[in-house]
Structure 1
Amino acid sequence: MKRTLLSAAMLASCSLPSFAADLKATLAPTIHQLMPQVIDWRRDIHTHPELSNSEVRTSKLVADELKALGLEVRTGIAHHGVVGILKGGQPGPVVALRADMDALPVKEQTGLPFASKVTATFNGEQVGVMHACGHDAHTAMLLGVAKALSSIRAQIPGTVMFVFQPAEEGAPPGEEGGAALMLKEGVFNNPKPDAIFGLHVWPMEAGKIYVRPEGTMAASDRFEVHIKGKQTHGSSPWRGVDPITVTGSMIEALELIPSRQVDVTQAPAVISIGQVKSGIRFNIIPDDATLVGTIRTFDEGMRQDIINKMQRTVTHVAQAAGATATLSVKSGAAVTWNDAKLTDWAAPTLAWAAGKEGVGTIKPITGAEDFSYFQQNVPGVFFFLGVAPDGVPLDQVAANHSPHFIVNEKGLENGVRALSGLALDYLQSPPKS
C-alpha cells in the first residue's frame, strides 16, 4: 500500500533523536518573537522591489543583517547574490537554505499601505516593479532563520549556508544570472553543502505546507519562431506572402502538439505563445513575423521529442504558405526534482513546523524554478507555503505574478519554523545513506 506523506511524517517523527527535538523546542519561542522583525523586513523589501540582476538595495540589506549576526558573508556572487555562512560550535555536515530576492515588471494594484510605487526600465519600456511572486517574503523569512539559528550557534553541529539568490525570474536579455550563474561562479565550492532546502509562498491555505517527491515544478524553455514572408500592399495580398496569416496557423499547430502528439499520461506538457510581433502599418503586409513562447515539461525525453516536433511543424506550416521559418529554443530552468528519500526524511520536520494537519501533497506545477539547478548539484527539497488572504475562497485568490497578489503574513512563521527545523534536523540526524 502506498504510504502518504503525512503518514510518513507521523511514523518518522518517532525516529528523530531527542536532542533534535530539544533544540527545536528551544528555538520555537525565539522564532515567534522574531516575527515582527521578519514582517518589517518583508514590508521594507516589498516597498523597494528590484528587477532581476538589479537587486542592489536588497542585497545590501541582506549582507548588512548577516554581518550584524557575526556570519561570514560573501557578496557579489552572480552580480548581487549574497551567501552567509554560520559555523556551528560543533563539527558536522553542511546544509544550505535558499531564498530569491528579485521582483517583477508588474504595476502593483493591491492597495496595501506599503505597496510599491517603484518604476524601472524593462525591455526598453517604463514599467511598474512589484514583488508579485513573494520573493520579499522568502528573503525576510530566511533572514529570520539566520537570526534564529545564530542564537543557538554554539549548539549547532555543522554549518548552515544561507543562499540569497538574485535573478530567479530570469536575467535580462544578453546577461547571465540566477542559480546557474551562482553555481558557475563557485557558490558550492567551499563549503559544498550536503543538501539544500527552499520554499515558495503560494496562494493556498495560510500557514499550510505543501510538498511532493520527485518532479515538482516543470522545466522551462523559451522559444522563438521567426517567419519570413514577402512584403506587399494590403490591398493585394496575392502579390506577397503574408507572415501574419502564417502565425495564426503556426500558433494552432504548435499548441496542438501536447494535446495530440504527446502521451500526457506519462507527464504534463504545455506549449504557450506569449508574444506575436509583426507589422508597422495598417495597409502593409509585412515581410516577417515573430512568435515567442514557452515550453513546460517534466521529462527530458518528452522535452526533446516536443522540440523535434515543433521544428517539423514550424518548417512545414511555413512551407505550406510559401514562407520560411526558423525555430530557436533557450533553456530557462530544469525540472525541480525533489529527492524522494530526502523528501520522506523531511516530512516529520515539516509536520513539526505546520502541525500534522498542516502538511499536504501538491500536484505537479507547470511553473518553473531555477532552484532546480542547485538540485542538480546536491540533493534538495523545494516546498510551498500557503499565504492566501483570510476569508477569500481559494479559487478567487490572486495568483503569483498578479498585480493583486497579496501575502498573508500570518503564514510566514511556519515558513521560518520549517527552514530552521530542516537545517537543525539535517545537521543532527541526516538521512541514512
Structure 2
Amino acid sequence: MLWFAPPLSSFAVALGLGLLIGLERERSKGVGPSRGPAGIRTFAVASLFGAVAFHIGGLFLLALAAVCVAGLVAVSYRRTSTSDPGLTTEMALAFMPILGALAVADVRLAAAVGVVVAILLAAKIPLHAFVTKVLNEAEVKDLLVFAAATLVIFPQLPDRYMGPFDALNPRSIWLLVILVLTIGGFGYIAKRALGARFGLPLAGLASGFASSTATIGAMAGLAAKEPALLRPAVAAAVLSTIATFIQLAVLLAATSAPTLAALAPALIAGGCAATLYGAVFTARAFMTGETQDREPGPGRAFSIKTALALAATMALMLVAAAALKDWLGEAGLLIGAATAGFVDAHSAAISVASLAASGRLAPHEAALPIMLGMTSNTAAKIIVALSAGARAFNLRIAPGLILAQAAAWGGYLI
C-alpha cells in the first residue's frame, strides 16, 4: 500500500525511479569537463517533469515535455559524440518523462519498468562481455532463430485441430519445436558452463537434453577410440538417458497433464534407475582418475533441422495414430506408437498424448502406447551403441539402458 494518496504517491514513485536510474548514471558519467551529460539530479527532474506534465495536461503536455527533453538530449549528444559515441545515457534520459507519466497512470507498472531499466544500465560490463566474449557467431544465430520461432511464428499459428482425421493442431506441433529448441539450448548452456572440469559424465548428462541417442553414439565412438575413457563414457551415455525421461515429462505436461500423471511412476522409476547406474560408473571413473579435462569446442546450441524433423515426424505420427485408431482401434495405436519409438520416443509420446488432450483417448489408455514407444527407443539406442562402440562399452551400456526401461515398466505396472 502506498503511503501517500494520488497524485502525491505517483510523484513520489516518479521521483524515486528518477533517483534510482540517475544514481546508476551518476556513478558512470565520470568527472571533469569530459563527464557524462546527465546524473542523478537530471534524471530525477526529467522523471518528475513527465509526471507533472501528464497530470496537468494529459498526453498533449506530456508530448511537449518529451520533445523538450529530447531536444536537450540531442544538443548534449552533439557536444559529447566525438569522445563518447554511445547513446545509452541519452536514450535513458529521453525515456524518463514517459516513465514519470507512466507512474501517474500505473504506479506498479512504472516501478517494474524503472527497475528493469536500472538493472540493464548497471549490467553494462557483464552484458557486453557475454555478447562479445562468451557468445560466438553460431550461438547468436541460434538465439535469433529461437526468437523468430517463439515471437514471430508461434503467435500466428491457429490453435485448433485440422487436417486428416482432425489430428493436427499447428500451435501444439510448433510448441514441440519451441520446447525442443529450449531444452537443447539449456543443455548446451549447461555443457558450456560446466566445461570439462567435471568430466564426461556431466557433459553427457547435459548433451542428453539435445539428443540422448546422439550422445550414446558419440560416447561409444569415444570409448572405442580411447579405451582409458571407457567408464566415464559409459556414465555419460547412461546419464544422458535421464534427459529422455525429463523431456518426456516436460512435453507431456505441456500436451496432456492427465497423461503425465498416469505415467509419472514409470518416468520417476526409469529416471532413478538410470541415475543410480550412471552414478556407479561416474564414481568409479573419478576414483580411478580416468576423467580428463577437456574443453568443449564451439558448437551450436541446438539444431533447428532436428527440431523441424521431430515436428514433422510427430505430425505424421499424429495422422498415422489417428488413422490406425480409427481403422484398427486400440491395436493400431499400439503398433503405431511402437514403430515411432524407433525413430524418436518424444514424437510417439506427444502423438498419443495429443489424442488424449483432444478427448479421443483416455489418459490411462495413452500410457501403454507411450511405454511401447519408450521401449522401442531404448532398443534403438542399444543398436546405435552396438554399431558405433567397442565391445566393452556395449557390455556396460546395454544393461544400464535395459535396467532403466525395466524400472519404468515396473513403475507403470505398479
Please report the TM-score for the alignment, with normalisation by the length of structure 2. Answer: 0.22
Q: Which has the higher contact order (CA 8 A, sep 6+)?
A: 1
Select the structure of larger CA radius of gyration: 2
**Structure 1 or 2: larger strand share?**
1
Structure-1-length-normalised TM-score: 0.21
